[in-house]
Amino acid sequence: MIRLIEDSDPSAFEMLKLLYPHSGNAFIIGITGPPGVGKSTLIDALILEFRKLDIKIAVIAVDPTSPISGGAILGDRLRMQRHATDEKVFIRSMASRGQKGGLSRATKDAAIVLDAMGYEIIIIETVGAGQGEFEVATIAHSTGIINIPGTGDGIQTVKAGILETGDVFIVNKSDKPDADELVHHLTRMISMRKPFKTNLAKTNWTARVLKTIARDGTGVKELADTFLSHFDFMKKNSLLDQKRKKIEKSYFTSLLKDLILKKVLLFAETSGEYMEVLNKIQSREMDPLSAAELVVNNICVLKSNN
């Protein structure tokens, strides 16, 4: 099913319609951070902790692999091999097939499948670099952001838009010298966050900062507990329901965009005008902006009567 999703196979769309009503129970955790901070090792250790509580868990590793070769490199997944025989653990890489928005859509689709299958926790691992993080926050109920001491300066951290989207900040490789400095830095930044525009200030979750050493498991139990308590907190304060509605709206809008673009681009490209206009651009008879406007003006949109 996930392979069909990756391939944008039309049957996946039909199957998702049937599965969707059975989804909506899983706790979806986004884990993000730049390359080299130990995301896979940490998730491997997290799986172990959640399994101690007999939680059925799935991991979707979103691989920003080459959009050109289209191949997924599975090196990281090897590190999670030890769970291969545990039937309550599912680990899968999702590779980009070139379309950018597509990977985010496909990840959400895959999460629906796993949710409907009864996985209680679904971890979505992404490389965080600003926009990547924003995407995971539109799918996940809780977002954990991993940093390690001694890479870049404070400014770099803020740049990545880390501050606004994180619920749990993880300082991994915390046996390194500057770990406490990073904890201090993150804590100070969290304290400067603008409160949500709501009167229910009491019901806001204050982001946590935790130290871990993924390699030997230090701090990972606390991390697992923190995610679970964030889930409880959201349930008790009806924040979970709000978040689910937001995720559904953004999913609906992305589906709508995909379907509209598919329909109208197909129309534009087959009308012959597209190629004609592209030739005029490349021979410099026309600029691309006027050309795009011309094509779109010549399309008229109507509400159908049936």
List binders of a second copy among 11-70 (CB under 8 A).
13, 16-17, 20-21, 24, 34-36, 63-69
Q: How many CA atoms lie within 13 A of 129 on its CB side?
A: 5
Binding mask 68-97 for a second copy (x = CB under 8 A): xx---x-xx-------------------x-
Cβ-based nearer residue to a second copy, 69 or 85: 69
Task: Looking at residues 229 to 248 of the shown chain, list those that interact with a second copy (rule: CB under 8 A).
Answer: 245, 248
Region of 1-9, 182-190, 223-231, 250-258 interacting with a second copy (CB under 8 A): 250-258
CA torsion angle 230 224 132 251 (round to 10)? -50
Asked if 195 touches a second copy (CB under 8 A), the answer is: no
Asked if 290 touches a second copy (CB under 8 A), the answer is: yes
Between the two ends of the chain, the Cα-to-Cα distance in Å is 33
Minimum CB separation from a second copy for residue 84, in Å? 19
Q: 213 and 174 in contact (C-beta within 8 Å)?
A: yes
Region of 2-10, 52-60, 157-165, 180-188 interacting with a second copy (CB under 8 A): 157-165
DSSP structure class, residue 29: E
Binding mask 120-139 for a second copy (x = CB under 8 A): -------xxxxxx-xx----
Angle 103-51-234 (CA atoms, 0-180°, nearest 5)? 65
Minimum CB separation from a second copy for residue 52, in Å? 29
Cβ-based nearer residue to a second copy, 232 or 287: 287
Sheet holding 27-33, edge to edge: 89-95, 57-63, 121-127, 27-33, 142-147, 168-171, 208-211
Minimum CB separation from a second copy for residue 122, in Å? 18
What sign for the dihedral angle of Cα 271, 272, 278, 283? Answer: negative
Asked if 302 touches a second copy (CB under 8 A), the answer is: yes
Among 4, 55, 117, 163, interactor with a second copy by CB under 8 A: 163
